[in-house]
Amino acid sequence: MQTKGWLFHCRSGYESTLASEVSAAADSLGVHGFCRARKGDGFVVFEVLSTDVPPPPQLIFARSGSTLLTELDNLPKGQRAEHIAASLQQNLGSATPWVEYPDSPEGRHLARFCRRFSGAAKRTLEASKVIAGDPRQRLHLLFTDSSRVIISVSTDSTWPMGIPRLRIPKTAPSRSALKLEEALLRLVPGDETPSPGEHAIDLGAAPGGWSWIMRQRGAKVTAVDNGPLARQLADDPGVVHLEQDAFRYRPAQPADWLLCDVVDRPHGVAKLIYRWFEKRLCKAAVFNLKLPMREPLNTVKSCLKVVSASGVRVHAAQLYHDREEITVYARLVE
């Protein structure tokens, strides 16, 4: 079945939220179409009704986006790769197609199948010259079951399914370190990442996962939390622990970075970040917005509007290592 449009991966359970965001983005681009989204699938398809399909927009609730080529059903066992190759034109993309599955309870059962199928897919697509073309273009094969595949292409995908496979040493104070590590990889441009000698203030730091990441990158850290830090951070001369309320603390001197992963209402956090930027108490910030049960997209957009009013540019996403939250990177516009 030939389909024009976009394919987006997302966290399972947020399909309707992403569909709303996709529809709004399409309207702003003057693109007419409709979403196919089912709760729990882990992906959203937007079918475009016009002949021209622009590149997929970058969205908060999407882990990755690609341009649809076709959808195939009833793939015969033992000849799946041949049927896929026969449906595609030559010179579509690079020599390494990504065989993917939805990051959902049902989709994860396909992980083993996709790993085993990858070799056959590459060999067959190479022989058919489907993947002998532009190395900047990636071919995606998303299997929703072993006999059905959604095929798409992208030019800016970094990780299969939009998921960076990060590993943090067991010595890290908490798994929250993965959230900041992914945020620095996905949201922060390479020339703006933390540098040795910079100063970071970590609000609500305990037990210190985010402070630990900044220390790994050579920054000095002021950790603000009434709770205790992990022993390795408490003994680190590059970390100053202030047992103070994170919402009331203000530094004597501006910092390079503000970090904030506190549990509070999203608008409360947005107003806190706004005040820090409005007073020029930091140059950049990474913070989380805990999502409400109702209208998460409208809540996030409202919060980003509050923060942006302080004179910063923002980039937000629901990261793989996030749960019911959105991570935001903000930096003052010079």
CB environment 21-50: b (16+ within 10 A), e (fewer) = bbbebbeeeebebebebeeebbbbbbebee
Q: Where are the domains of the chain?
A: 5-161, 177-332
Which residues on adjacent β-strands are paired with residue 72? Answer: 149
96-109 residue pLDDT tens: 899 999 999 999 99
Say if residue 93's pLDDT is above 80: no
Q: Catalytic annotation on 290?
A: yes
pLDDT band at 301 (very low <50, low <70, confident <90, very high): very high
CATH topology assigned to domain 5-161: Alpha-Beta Plaits (3.30.70)
112-149 residue pLDDT tens: 999 999 999 999 999 999 887 667 789 999 999 999 99
The model carries a pTM of: 0.94
How far is 101 from 297, CA to CA, in rounded Å? 25
CATH class of 177-332: alpha beta
The percentage of residues in the chain with a pLDDT greater than 90, rounded to a whole number, is 88
Q: Answer for the pair 7, 140: CB distance below 8 angstroms, yes or no.
A: yes
50-79 residue pLDDT tens: 778 899 999 999 999 999 999 999 999 999
What is the signed CA dihedral for 35, 64, 6, 98, rounded to 10 degrees? -130
Give me the catalytic one of 170, 290, 301, 305. Answer: 290
pLDDT band at 92 (very low <50, low <70, confident <90, very high): confident
Nearest to 59 by CA among 104, 10, 5, 102: 10
Q: Answer for the pair 85, 128: CB distance below 8 angstroms, yes or no.
A: yes
Q: Which residue has the higher pLDDT, 131 or 275?
A: 275
DSSP 3-state assignment of 94? Answer: coil
How far is 61 from 64, CA to CA, in rounded Å? 9
Residue-level pLDDT at 289: 97
**Whether the bond into 207 is cis, omega within 30 of 0:** yes
Residue-level pLDDT at 26: 95
Q: Give the mean pLDDT of 239-259.
A: 97
Residue 189: CA count within 13 A, CB half-sphere: 8
Residue-level pLDDT at 133: 64
Fold match flag (5-161 vs 177-332)? no
> For the chain, what percentages of helix, strand and coil (3-state, to nearest 5) are there?
30, 25, 45
Long-range contacts of 217-222 (CB under 8 A, 24+ apart): 217/193, 218/194, 219/194, 219/195, 219/256, 219/257, 222/251, 222/255
